[in-house]
Structure 1
Amino acid sequence: MDVEKKQNADVSVDDILQVLGPFGRFNIFNFILILFPVFLAGMYSSVYNFEAMDLDYRCSIPECENETSLNYTIPHIDGKPSKCLRYPRFDNYTLDLNDTCLPNHYDPSNVITCESFLYLESHSIVKEFNLGCQDWKRTLVGTVHNAGFFIAIPLTGVMSDKFGRKIAIIFACIANGVFGVIRALSVNYDMFIIFEFLEPAFGGGVYTACFVLALELVGPKGRVFTSLLFNTMFILGGEMVTLLSWWLQNWRYLVFIIYTPAVFVFVYMWTLTESFRWYFSKGRYEEGLNVLSKAEKMNNVTVPKDHYDQVEKQAMKQRDTRKCESKENNQSSFQQLFTSTVIWKRLAVCSLLWISSTLVYYGLSINAIDLSGNGYLNYAVVILIEAPANICKLLLLDRFGRKRVISLSFFSTAVILIAYGFISAGSWSIAVYLAGKFFITLAYNSLYVFAAEVFPTNYRTTLLAMCSTIGRTGSTIAPLTPLLTKLYEHLPTILFGSSAAVSGFLVLTLPETNNLKLPDSLKEATEQDKKFDESDR
């Protein structure tokens, strides 16, 4: 009898989830709904590369536009007419209507900047907003897009923890749709750049909100597979927007097509299930238990009633403990959270890892467009290499632990990308480039699982959002890295490799979370750290 009571006392939410099964009908239904915004987020994270894709254009010579004249009116660089420079006409030469444009009319010993451009392609904003030879305006699009996440992720995180995961997802998706469609109607560059910022500023946190909700619906054994599903859908989104851009060859059609579906996510108000863990953290035990009971019915399994009673008692006990701790310290739970050295340490380390990950991950994708060959194909292949990386994550994380896999992935990325600068252009250099993308994808996507597991439930989304927000510093800088090639061709990959090397060491300062229950309180997170310190002695 005493053994039975002890067993009942030890029952947790994860025990109920084990009975329900990680992927029964309940989870499959909700995961289908959750993964749709993730697919859209995959498209939105890549679309700016094609909106502001560089075009084939050259300096326009209004008084002398014919193919033969290009040899003496425009200087050639690597066998191609210059995009930004032309030869000036001699001052004493005036063109009459009947005159023929001749070589002796131009001064090849001098060059001047172009006043106008002849665009040979028209599928990006470069032609429509006349951005010829203004690379800073073109790369600014990606920087502004990623800068929007500094607002979106904390906004969505606070909304998710205060009003629920479901509300945060719906709000972010609708914001994406509305601001994205308006951007497709931009009449000038200024309007375009404003809505390029507003769209991610209000909708960019959708991936994090979806990920947290999905993670809280499964037990420890389902977390890595859940992450794999998310990464796969994100990859498919990136591939889809690449193929659509290649096919449509029109940035306005592209933006309108991919953002319109997001508006219809408002139906999730009546279809998507809220996180029972969030209900428990807010003291809404009956609603949380109703979610578990609904899952039980949909999955056609039976959970012992005393399991629910024990879970409710534990949830109430944890909530009372947090209140007592707050009163004893004369602090709110939020204030207490941020006076904890454990939380500060984890937040700082995870944020630095995020900065490095986003810088290298997005930097390699963006620079892939400028590799030799078809830009669309290069980008598609660089994204596709993420698929085997995610499969490896599924096979390795549970078997070898989070820390070991992530650290070795960072170190491998560093070695490969630094070595890339010493390999001559060709098939081997592309293979090495792809290998770098493979390992940074493995590290970055594993980091999502790891970071979510080290923060307590009641502020998990907020803290994860803070990491992701600070980490967006890397993705904000990434669109500017192609400009570094003007200083030295391999400077971007050297920067990426050095950043990855530092991250490999930082990972080792965090506790291992493999197969451990998610910490539901600050106390449990602190105990996690104590065990980690003791194991290091």
Structure 2
Amino acid sequence: MDPEKKESAEVSVDDILQLLGPFGRFNVFNYFFILLPVFMAGMYSSVYNFESMDLEYRCAVPECDDDTLALNFTIPHKEDGTPHKCLRYAPYSNSTYNESYCSELDFDTSSQIECDAYVYLEEHSIVKEFNLACVDWKRSLVGTVHNAGFFISIPLTGLLSDKFGRRLALVFASVASGVFGLIRALAANYNMFVVFEFLEPAFGGGVYTACFVLALELVGPKGRVFASLLFNTMFILGGVTVTLLAYWLKNWRYLLFVIYTPSVFVFTYLWMLSESFRWYFSKGKYEEGLKVLRRSERFNNVTVPKDYYNQVEKQAMRQRDARKSESMESNQSAFKQLLTSQMIWKRLFICSFLWTASTLVYYGLSINAIELSGNSYLNYIVVIVIEAPANVCKLIFLDRFGRKRVISTAFFLAGLILINYGFIPAGNWSIFFYLGGKFFITLAYNSLYVFAAEVFPTNYRTTLLAICSTIGRIGSTVAPLTPLLARYYVYLPTTLFGIMAAISAFLVLTLPETNNLKLPDSLKEAQDQDRKKKKEDKKEETPVDRNVESKTSL
């Protein structure tokens, strides 16, 4: 066969993307709009930490007209010398109080009782407004309810994305976040607040997944890791920004109004943002998909041979016809084939566990950082900022060493560090280990987004990713409750995090390597990844290895 014809016959979408360039003006234009909701999602994922942030308060002592000089004999003190938040000394029942004088003889310092009322020394969270002093489970419930909303939003957004397009799913999730977030800012009581704390992520929590899939499908293999880095960076900036705003505004209602208002205007994306051509192809809308590619060609001022588009269209049609014929032959729909595929179930189980472990450790370390000594806002920023170098390492290592090796190593090191964290004396080394655990879990978690997207076929990629992410939200739902474990053993949370990360390190090795491979567009192509993995495993056993093995057997 003529080499030119052979080369021409093998043209794919990724070949066109290579000519267009991974980040030409077309992608820069679209990424600008895509990354804004990601930035806002970074704020929304952290804001509940500051809405329900614990405050400085103490028991009210009405018998002494809350005289601060009387605290020494009316309220027990902790080891660090601060007044206890939730206990006070019981007054003698036969005491007669003088309005101008409060005596220690009026209180039984051997008997402690729970407070009836509180004096709040701060007022920037719902703890003051809804009187949640010493009711820690209600504070923790805010984060749990928030993350529980993702069980609805992620599959909902995934179904919308696969059925109606990535763009519509992105717009729906963003606008829903803005509307429910603004209503929450007007909450009149704790119950109303918690309901809308759930509804906001329940309808808008899938915005990150929708944005990520759209961005990933606009670039070729070489641009995927860098696209992921951009997403992670914007997410980090969102977390840092909401922390600084919370510190500056010192009012949870004002904070919600400021961060949720921009999301309402994302509805304009319906006219400004381009849809994924891969989604168009998967739905048989070839002309619409080719229009997107041609628009990219004009934006980037690049010339793509016309026959490339014809070949890509024919290739997409052949793939679609092949899927239909396979379905007819087996009397099954494509979705039923997906459900009966052992390979898909295996990948779903593994990716779901990895996601659960990642979210538990990732969010758990962030939330517990607020409980550490020192400035809570500064602690949170430091724990978030440590993600930046982790993302840079992801950019460098994923393409160079492969997905599996990097993710498995990151999980293993995170587990090793966090399991040993309890044996490190308090001080600089303890902080270093804590940040090290956050660094490696961030590297693993953010790399997992790229890896998981590459092992699922295009026509159900968003749905399958959504299932993994939904199940994975078990981890982030439990994470806000982990500070309560420290009451039983101070290092119990980090020990749990370490065990989950260590198990994940070994599970990663059971998935196929996807580095520099084209995204699988069908179930068959996804299955081919496993076949290539088996072939590569056999090739790794070189003649020298076999010779050594035969000698050892002798």
Q: TM-score, normalised by structure 1?
A: 0.99
Q: What CA deviation, in whole Å up to 9, does each residue of 1:34-93 have, x standing for no partner?
A: 000000000000000000000000111112111221111111112111111111111112
1:2: Cα distance to partner? Answer: 2.8
Residue in structure 1 matched with residue 63 of structure 2 by the alignment: 63
Q: How far apart are 1:8 and its partner, in Å?
A: 1.5
| Matched residue, 2:234 | 233
Match of 1:471 in 2: 472
1:57 partner letter: Y
Residues 435-454 of structure 1 mapped to structure 2, 5 A cutoff: 435-454=436-455
Q: Distance in 2 between matches of 1:63 and 1:312?
A: 83
Deviation at 1:530, TM superposition (A): 1.4
Q: Secondary structure at the match of 1:76?
A: coil
Match of 2:92 among 90, 114, 136: 90
Query: What is the CA–CA distance in structure 2 between the aligned matches of 1:167 and 1:465, rounded to whole Å?
Result: 16
Shift >4 Å, 4+ stretches = none
Q: 2: distance between equivalents of 1:371 and 1:109?
A: 31
How many Å separate the matches in 2 of 1:415 and 1:99? 60
Aligned to 2:339: 338
Secondary structure at 1:87 match in 2: strand
Quick one: distance in 1 between partners of 2:534 and 2:23?
Answer: 35
- Structure 2 regions of 5+ residues with no counterpart? 539-554
Q: In structure 1, what is the Cα distance between the partners aligned to 2:309 and 2:474?
A: 43
- Report how far residue 477 of structure 1 moved: 0.3
Q: Which residue of 2 aligns with 1:127?
A: 128
The corresponding residue for 1:30 is 30
Match of 1:349 in 2: 350
**Superposed counterparts of 1:84-483, under 5 Å:** 84-96=86-98, 98=99, 100-483=101-484
2:321 is aligned with what amino acid? Answer: D
Unaligned runs of 5+ in 1: none
Distance in 1, Cα, partners of 2:240 & 2:330: 51
Give distance in 1, aligned partners of 2:14 and 2:100. Answer: 86
CA distance, structure 2, for counterparts of residue 319 and residue 59 of structure 1: 69
Write the distance in 2 (CA, Å) between the matches of 1:90 and 1:326: 82
* C-alpha displacement of 1:534: 2.9
Which residue type is aligned with residue 121 of structure 1?
A: E
SS of residue paired to 2:58:
strand
Deviations 1:239-260 (A, max 9, x none): 0000000111110000110000
Specify the alignment match of 2:5 in structure 1.
5
Aligned counterpart, 2:16: 16
After TM superposition, give the deviation of residue 197 of structure 1 in Å.
0.2
In the alignment, the residues of structure 2 paired with residue 422 and residue 93 of structure 1 have an alpha-carbon distance, to the nearest angstrom, of 50
Question: Residue 122 of structure 1 aligns to which amino acid in structure 2?
Answer: E
Cα distance per residue 1:340-385 (max 9 Å; x no partner): 0110011100000000000000000000011111000000000000
Distance in 2 of aligned mates of 1:206 and 1:2 = 47
Give secondary structure in 1 for the equivalent of 2:108.
coil
Tell me how far apart the structure 2 counterparts of residues 195 and 9 of structure 1 sit (CA, whole Å): 54
Once the 2 structures are TM-superposed, how far is the Cα of residue 327 of structure 1 from its aligned partner? 1.1
Q: Which amino acid aligns with 2:57?
A: Y
> Quick one: which amino acid aligns to residue 95 of structure 1?
Y
2:47 is the counterpart of 1:47: yes
What SS is found at the alignment partner of 1:108?
strand
CA distance in 2, matches of 1:73, 1:534: 75
Q: Secondary structure of 2:91's match?
A: coil
SS of the equivalent of 2:216 reads helix
Corresponding letter in the other structure for 1:471: G
Q: Take 2:274 and 2:68, find their aligned partners in 1: how far apart are those partners?
A: 64
Structure 2: distance between partners of 1:68 and 1:248: 31
CA distance in 2, matches of 1:534, 1:132: 61
Cα deviation, residue 99, structure 1: 5.5
- 2:521 partner SS: coil
Counterpart CA distance in 2 for 1:515 and 1:19 is 16
Q: Take 2:48 and 2:100, find their aligned partners in 1: how far apart are those partners?
A: 45
Q: Distance in 2 between matches of 1:424 and 1:310?
A: 64
Q: CA deviation at 1:4?
A: 2.1
Q: Specify the SS of the correspondent of 1:369.
A: helix
- Secondary structure of 1:109's counterpart equals strand
Shift in Å, 1:420:
1.1
Query: Could you tell me how far apart the structure 2 residues matched to 1:499 and 1:3 are?
Result: 52
Which letter does structure 2 place at the counterpart of 1:303?
V
Deviations 1:97-120 (A, max 9, x none): x45210010111111111111100
SS in 2 for 1:107: strand
Kindly provide the amino acid, as one letter, of the partner of residue 433 in structure 1.
Y
**Structure 2 residue matching 1:75: 3-state secondary structure:** coil
Determine the C-alpha separation between the residues in 2 that align with 1:188 and 1:247. Answer: 24
- Alpha-carbon offset, residue 501 of structure 1: 0.2
Higher deviation after alignment, 73-82 or 396-405: 73-82
Identical pairs, percent? 73
Letter of the 1:63 partner, please give it.
E
Secondary structure at the counterpart of residue 449 of structure 1: helix
Residue 502 (structure 1) shift:
0.1
Query: Shift of residue 94 of structure 1?
Result: 3.4
